[in-house]
Structure 1
Amino acid sequence: MVLNAVRGGLGFLTRLPVGGGEAEWDAFRRAPVVFPLVGYVVGGLAALPFLLPLPIPTAAALYLVTLYLVTGVTHADGLADLGDAAVVHGNAERRLSVLKDSQTGVGGLLALGVTLVVLAMGAFGLAGVGWRLGLPTGGFSFTTGRLGLTVGVVIALTAEVSAKTGMATLVCLGTPAHDGLGSALVGENAPSGLLAVAVVCLPVVALAPDTGLLAIVVTLLCGPVVALLVRAWGRNHLGGVSGDLIGATNELARATAIHVGVVTWTLS
């Protein structure tokens, strides 16, 4: 059952060729704990460029390319839809109709464009933090048999787990705005599911002795905080949570968490 849920989560949240079908999807949508588990996979893969001896701009660019090759554009599309709905004047029904519209307007382009720029600047920051954990340089040492992780790798991994935890928070605490993808996830979960989600986040905290507990904790908290803000907006303007809001939470939380993590580590 757990393996089916993980496979379903990877199939839904990434473009990794894991296969899966209706049984895996059903297992995943009832297991919010899978969200941060997938975050470890996505974050680990996307952070690989920060282990390589590359110029800062190249490492940042490769991070973005790897990230969207792994995850696809589904969540980014949700962010664009949210941007369009946010600038619409009217009631919840009018905003919901905009969310379902396949065309992207100025609000969507602005929301997506600004978030991508913020994310790119955050990736620059990740590539620029030169302090290394365990080794003088990042990568694997055949002499010591140890893997040296840069601060950028640790924060990138934590930020992705945080973003997926934000999605899980929205799924567990939200109410469906309408029938559809959002209701298939939100309608099957309860706040009690967040306990397992929190437990799954503990392994990333194990990196805190090297990176700093404060930097890890605040980076992890960004996802749930963003999710609560999106939930409040959805409740006030849409009557609940939709699938687009879940995807938008992922994009907004990741960009926020990266900047918060880099700033906190730099100042601590």
Structure 2
Amino acid sequence: MNDIFKAVIGGIALFTRFPVKTDKEGFHALAENIFVFPLIGVLIGFLVGMFSTFISQITLLEGIYPLAVIFFLYILTGLIHIDGLADLFDGLMAHGNIDAMKDTNIGIGALFSLIFYLLALYVSIENIIGLNLVVIFIFAEILAKISMVNLASLGRSIHEGMGSLFIDRISYRDIFLSYLFILPFLYLWGVKTLIYIAPVILADLVILLICNKNFGGINGDVLGAGNEIGRLLVLMVIGCIPF
């Protein structure tokens, strides 16, 4: 039980900007208990959902509501995952050059992916105004973290780093327990829940195919990209097919 608590603290330190103290032991506990990823997603989704619900009631912010939500999201979580998305596209534009993913300079692939992603996120958030935002954002963040679990469980690590810590240690227990977080939504929405989940799983498989072909595997940047793409897909589909 103590290891799980350390894993949660490690997850909060890694996935949010909360000033919690952890150490290598905390990150190793997180790597041994990856099923807590969706639990951190619940925390993030709840806070983003509460913020979204509050500002959606402020008439003066009506025109910039999605922008305010996006700003709050990345103030809360930091840019670690969206940086992974940018690095992934830089690597793909360099035809599988892993060094391009590590380059601190922003390439055209990164620039295009960030612009497209943020515009799509803006439109997706705009489309869910009027729905139960707390529930939606909790679900979206759970699926974003499950996307990382999927990629870690099916992918192979291409080099040592933070990503390999999770990719090399994930177990069937982590996968099973992660998906249990979806059960309350199956009760709420029934079969429609599967419609919201399917694009995320499909996207994970496509990401794996592309990364295996271009890089020979995945790394932490790919896990971060999966988090961002998973969140976006959930918000897009719910906006198009409300529950």
TM-score after normalising by structure 2: 0.90
1:166 aligns with 2:166: no
* Residue of structure 2 in register with 1:115 after alignment: 117
> Following the alignment from structure 1 to structure 2, what is the Cα–Cα distance between the partners of residues 67 and 205?
26
* Residue of structure 2 in register with 1:103 after alignment: 105
List per-residue Cα deviations over 1:36-71 (Å, max 9, x = no partner).
111101111111233221344343222111110111
Given that 2:70 and 2:122 are in contact with CA atoms closer than 8 Å, whether structure 1 keeps it comes out as: yes
Deviation at 1:109, TM superposition (A): 0.5
> Following the alignment from structure 1 to structure 2, what is the Cα–Cα distance between the partners of residues 3 and 64?
29
Greater alpha carbon shift after TM alignment, 173-182 vs 190-199: 190-199
Deviation at 1:214, TM superposition (A): 4.0
> Following the alignment from structure 1 to structure 2, what is the Cα–Cα distance between the partners of residues 222 and 54?
33
* Residue of structure 1 in register with 2:206 after alignment: 229
Q: Which of 158, 161, 166 is the aligned partner of 1:177? A: 158
Q: Which of 69, 72, 96 is the aligned partner of 1:66? A: 72
Deviation at 1:203, TM superposition (A): 3.1
Q: Which of 187, 190, 199 is the aligned partner of 2:168? A: 187
Higher share of residues assigned helix: 2
List per-residue Cα deviations over 1:82-140 (Å, max 9, x = no partner).
11111113xx4xx111111111101100011100110011111122xx2xxxxxxxxxx
Corresponding pairs, count: 237
Between the two structures, name the one with larger relative contact order (CA 8 Å, sep ≥ 6): 2
CA distance change for structure 1 residues 105 and 98 in 2, over 3 Å: closer, same or farther?
same
> Following the alignment from structure 2 to structure 1, what is the Cα–Cα distance between the partners of residues 194 and 40?
19
* Residue of structure 1 in register with 2:84 after alignment: 78
Q: How big is the alpha-carbon RMSD for the aligned residues of Structure 1 and Structure 2? A: 1.8
Q: Which of 224, 246, 249 is the aligned partner of 2:223? A: 246
Given that 2:142 and 2:181 are in contact with CA atoms closer than 8 Å, whether structure 1 keeps it comes out as: no
Given that 1:162 and 1:219 are in contact with CA atoms closer than 8 Å, whether structure 2 keeps it comes out as: no
Given that 1:159 and 1:219 are in contact with CA atoms closer than 8 Å, whether structure 2 keeps it comes out as: no
Identity level (%): 28
SS at structure 2 position matched to 1:18: coil
TM-score after normalising by structure 1: 0.82
* Residue of structure 1 in register with 2:38 after alignment: 36
Q: Which of 54, 57, 62 is the aligned partner of 2:63? A: 57
* Residue of structure 2 in register with 1:139 after alignment: none
Q: Which of 172, 178, 183 is the aligned partner of 1:202? A: 183
**Unmatched tracts of structure 2, length 5 or more:** none
The higher radius of gyration belongs to 1
Deviation at 1:216, TM superposition (A): 3.2
List per-residue Cα deviations over 1:198-226 (Å, max 9, x = no partner).
113323444x2xxx334433323443332
* Residue of structure 2 in register with 1:136 after alignment: none
**Unmatched tracts of structure 1, length 5 or more:** 131-149
List per-residue Cα deviations over 1:13-38 (Å, max 9, x = no partner).
11112221111100001222111111
Given that 1:163 and 1:222 are in contact with CA atoms closer than 8 Å, whether structure 2 keeps it comes out as: no
> Following the alignment from structure 1 to structure 2, what is the Cα–Cα distance between the partners of residues 183 and 241?
9
Deviation at 1:72, TM superposition (A): 0.3
